[in-house]
Structure 1
Amino acid sequence: MGASAVIVALALSPGLDVTYEVDALALGGITRPSAVTRVAGGKALNVARAAAGLGADVHALAVLGGPTGEWVAALLADDGVPATVVAGTGTTRTCLTIVEASGGATSTDLYEPATELDRASWASFARAARDRAAARPGGWFALSGSIPRGVPLDELAGLLVELRAAGARVVVDGSGAGLRATAGAADLVKVNRHEAEELVGAPLATATEAGRALRERLGVDSVVTDGVYGAAALLGGAELLAPPTRRPGRFPAGSGDAFLGGLLTALDRGDAYDAALALAVSAAERNAHVPGQGRLAPEPQT
């Protein structure tokens, strides 16, 4: 097991994530939550919180603006996640998750679009990322979540290339045009099978086949999720399989982010690949048993 470096969460699209627990959602009427949980959210900050909860050395780099951005920064501090805040000109978004008592392992999610960045905010963010890579070489940089308007995708991909040249390892977890622009600049991508099909431009029958195609086309390691079939990982030439969750919980939002937080925690400290995948699966399951994305329930007793 090697010495850990640091996991840097690149939060271009953070938000205030609010979970409402309700008996039943009254469409067209008034619903009063029985419990409310607020966390510093967006996928990248959820990854950071999960990794910090597992003992990783974490740093968040987040664009935050307005009163909501100040609230998110305060919540990050409460979670013990150190952060570099880049001032944004727009108000940080709010995202809602509604969990019904009889909803099983599902939720209703209302996500505002990522807050647009102006040119100055993007330039400040890129400069801060380069500074972090220079200060602590060798760590993981996690670009996770949607890419807001105002971020030039070619410059974002170029930034990832620069970070890798400075000794960082880069993981991308995204979708759409942002994923297509950045996947080839990463060491590792986390996608579902359908996103992998979009990246390689061909149908892929299994997650394992998807990982092989991503390695052949883009030269990247990958974790490919496939719903009820679990996930497949291709890490350092090793092919591994992860079964679907055996302990579904009431709070599934953020479980994919917790998965990535667990995976990076283990990889950063030099764990074997199978152990890293096992920690990722455990973190995802633990996330689903407690409200608040990226928060982890206590480990189950065996």
Structure 2
Amino acid sequence: MILAINMNPAIDKVYAVDDFKVGEVFRPRDMTATAGGKGLNVARVACLLGEQVIATGLAGGSTGRFIEEEVKKQGIDSQFVPIQGESRICINIMDEKNVTSTEILEPGPTISEEECEAFLNKYQKLLEKCDVVTASGSLPKGVPEDFYRNLISLANEKGKKFILDTSGKYFEEGINEKPYMIKPNKDEVSKVIKESLSHMDDYIKAVKTFQAQGIMLPVISLGKNGCIAALEDGIYHFTTPQVKVINTVGSGDSFVAGCAVGLSQGRNFIDVIKLGMACGTANTQFFKTGMVSKELVDKFFAMIEYEKIEGI
């Protein structure tokens, strides 16, 4: 069972607009509205792969009700904690003709101390039902910066595998508690270690540092160039096949979902990363955010390449 945490969920609206320009009026040729936020993308993809998934976080107002209803329709167990504020709406304008993506992200509601406490109480009960926990994205206003760190600590106490996918202060605080897996990009790592990363040697040094700190499966995302991962026996570079991209939004979340499924199934680390990358690649083939098909995932899984670039 996978527990997917999305503390600041949203309705994700994607508009397809060719030749998008600022200051003009457009009528999109297509649009979708889904229960979104990074954690819900994770939950959706894991569910599409056939896993049992619980989605939790904070949800409020009419937007929150829409999110919970959509989550349930997808076959995901919705266990959101109700709040007084209104959950947010996020907009993505996809210009496929010019291969651009413009995002407008609402900040979301302000959370009270009592609402934070209510979530922690619920979270500790939900931990009993799962073996892998994912926490994705930013935290809403009012939630302390060390909140993910506390969630990781509680998961570690119960022997649950925790995948942390966030940035900034939330990431810096979280890694101090040794989550099982992380997947920052090179810019996020640079901000934490206070060094620029531009060469393979830099990435190798960074994942080895995370591994030495006690993070079991540190990964650095390199975008179209794949990822670097520190496994038990060395440092590996994984690459994906070249595909015609329809929409990249949600590919990082799909990667997390694939890794969570692999860990929950007890797969070896190489296959865990391959499954994550296959999900991330499959997501690029859909207009809808955080979407895969099992057939495409299986196809791309067989096409993921990897090499050991340094032994331990």
TM-score by length of 2: 0.88
Which residue of structure 2 aligns with residue 90 of structure 1? Answer: 85
**Aligned with 2:71: secondary structure?**
helix
> Would you say 1:288 and 2:284 are equivalent positions?
yes
Which residue of structure 2 aligns with residue 100 of structure 1? Answer: 95
Give a deviation string over 1:61-120, Cα, whole Å, max 9, x none: 12101101111111111111111010112111111111123033x421111124321112
Q: Counterparts of 1:51 and 1:19 in 2: how far apart (Å)?
A: 21
Give a deviation string over 1:146-187, Cα, whole Å, max 9, x none: 122211233541232022101211111001111111122211
CA contact (8 A) 2:146 2:170 kept: no
Which residue of structure 2 aligns with residue 110 of structure 1? Answer: 104
Letter matched to residue 251 of structure 2: S
> Would you say 1:187 and 2:183 are equivalent positions?
no
Which residue of structure 2 aligns with residue 279 of structure 1? Answer: 275
Letter matched to residue 166 of structure 1: K
| Deviates further, 278-287 or 236-245 | 236-245
Shift of 1:292: 2.1
Cα distance change, pair 227–101 in 1 and its aligned pair in 2 (3 A): closer
Which residue of structure 2 aligns with residue 170 of structure 1? Answer: 162
| Residue among 14, 22, 29 paired with 2:24 | 29
CA contact (8 A) 2:132 2:263 kept: no
Letter matched to residue 69 of structure 2: A
- Provide the alpha-carbon RMSD of the alignment: 1.9
Where structure 1 has 5 or more consecutive residues not aligned to the other structure, the ranges are 1-5
Higher relative contact order (CA 8 A, sep 6+): 1
Where structure 2 has 5 or more consecutive residues not aligned to the other structure, the ranges are 301-312
> Would you say 1:227 and 2:192 are equivalent positions?
no
Q: Counterparts of 2:234 and 2:118 in 1: how far apart (Å)?
A: 38
Which residue of structure 1 aligns with residue 135 of structure 2? Answer: 143
Letter matched to residue 49 of structure 2: L
Which residue of structure 2 aligns with residue 3 of structure 1? Answer: none
Identity, in percent, stands at 26
Shift of 1:298: 5.9
Note the 1:245-284 alignment, pairs <5 A. Answer: 245-284=241-280
Give a deviation string over 1:29-62, Cα, whole Å, max 9, x none: 2111111111111111111111111112211012
* Count of residue pairs the alignment pairs up: 294
Q: Counterparts of 1:155 and 1:171 in 2: how far apart (Å)?
A: 14
Which residue of structure 2 aligns with residue 81 of structure 1? Answer: 76
**Aligned with 1:141: secondary structure?**
strand
Letter matched to residue 162 of structure 1: L
Q: Counterparts of 2:258 and 2:64 in 1: how far apart (Å)?
A: 26
Letter matched to residue 277 of structure 1: I
CA contact (8 A) 2:240 2:281 kept: no
**Aligned with 2:142: secondary structure?**
coil
CA contact (8 A) 1:96 1:111 kept: yes
| Residue among 149, 174, 193 paired with 1:157 | 149
Q: Counterparts of 1:100 and 1:234 in 2: how far apart (Å)?
A: 36
Note the 1:3-14 alignment, pairs <5 A. Answer: 6-14=1-9
CA contact (8 A) 1:227 1:244 kept: no
Structure 1 stretches of 4+ moved >6 Å: none
Shift of 1:12: 0.6
Letter matched to residue 106 of structure 2: E
Q: Counterparts of 2:49 and 2:235 in 1: how far apart (Å)?
A: 25
Letter matched to residue 242 of structure 2: R
Cα distance change, pair 156–267 in 1 and its aligned pair in 2 (3 A): closer
CA contact (8 A) 1:114 1:146 kept: no
**Aligned with 1:9: secondary structure?**
strand
TM-score by length of 1: 0.91
Cα distance change, pair 80–45 in 1 and its aligned pair in 2 (3 A): same
